[in-house]
Each structure stands twice: as structure tokens, then as C-alpha cells.
């Protein structure tokens, strides 16, 4: 779990929160208001700049901020590696991608 602060986009008040990036590429954010769960593809993650806190922005304008840059990098790296190392186990029911050459035509299947 990555500890940080959650901003709900309705007020400027920061609330303590914990974030996890799962092997299924889902972000799970635990706040005092409950659990928020979204796909990694649905958020914007700020670039790492020295020791400036990282910000993870959600589609509704809410954000999570953490100074734990190494933890964010490690969680993102693990999610990317698992997508490549275990392509059939990176989502609900798994996933697979194949390139098939059939009768002179190349097909990409997902």
C-alpha cells in the first residue's frame, strides 16, 4: 500500500488515503469515504520530478498525492512487467494477443 492524501475534487481538504496498483492493473484507493477502484488506463499519473510528490488524477477530477515516488515507480513497473510476463492473467478472465498469418493476410487478435 502506498500512503498519501486524497482530494475529492469538491473541496480543497486533504484526507488520508492508501493506494494499491494490483496485478490486474486496477487501482484501489481506500479513503475514509470508502473504496474507489478504477483501471490503470483511466488515470493520469504525474511524471517523477526529483522529490516532488506524485499525483494520480482520476477522471472525475479527484486526485491522490504521495511523496512515495519509489513506491509508485515500483508498483507501475510491476504492473507493466506482469502485462508482458503473464499476458493471459492481466484482467478479468485474462487476456491474450496473437498475430496470425492466414492466407497471405496478417491478423491481430485480441
DSSP 42-68: G-EEPPP-TTPPEEEE-TTS-EEEES-
Res. 62 pLDDT band, cuts 50 70 90: very high
Res. 58 pLDDT band, cuts 50 70 90: very high
- Residues 44 and 88: their CA atoms lie apart, in Å, by 25
- Global pTM value: 0.69
- pLDDT, one tens digit per residue, over 68-102 is 888 888 888 877 776 666 655 555 555 556 778 88
In the chain, the domains with their CATH numbers are 2-109 (2.30.29)
Amino acid at each position: 500500500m502506498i500512503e498519501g492524501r486524497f482530494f475529492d475534487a469538491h473541496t480543497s481538504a486533504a484526507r488520508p488515503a492508501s493506494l494499491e496498483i494490483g496485478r490486474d492493473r486496477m487501482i484501489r484507493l481506500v479513503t475514509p469515504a470508502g473504496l474507489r477502484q478504477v483501471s490503470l488506463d483511466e488515470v493520469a499519473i504525474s511524471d517523477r520530478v526529483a522529490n516532488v510528490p506524485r499525483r494520480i488524477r482520476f477522471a472525475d477530477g479527484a486526485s491522490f498525492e504521495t511523496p512515495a515516488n519509489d513506491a509508485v515507480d515500483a508498483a507501475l513497473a510491476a504492473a507493466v512487467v506482469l502485462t508482458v510476463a503473464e499476458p493471459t492473467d492481466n484482467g478479468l478472465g485474462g487476456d491474450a494477443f496473437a498475430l496470425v498469418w492466414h492466407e497471405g493476410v496478417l491478423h491481430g487478435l485480441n
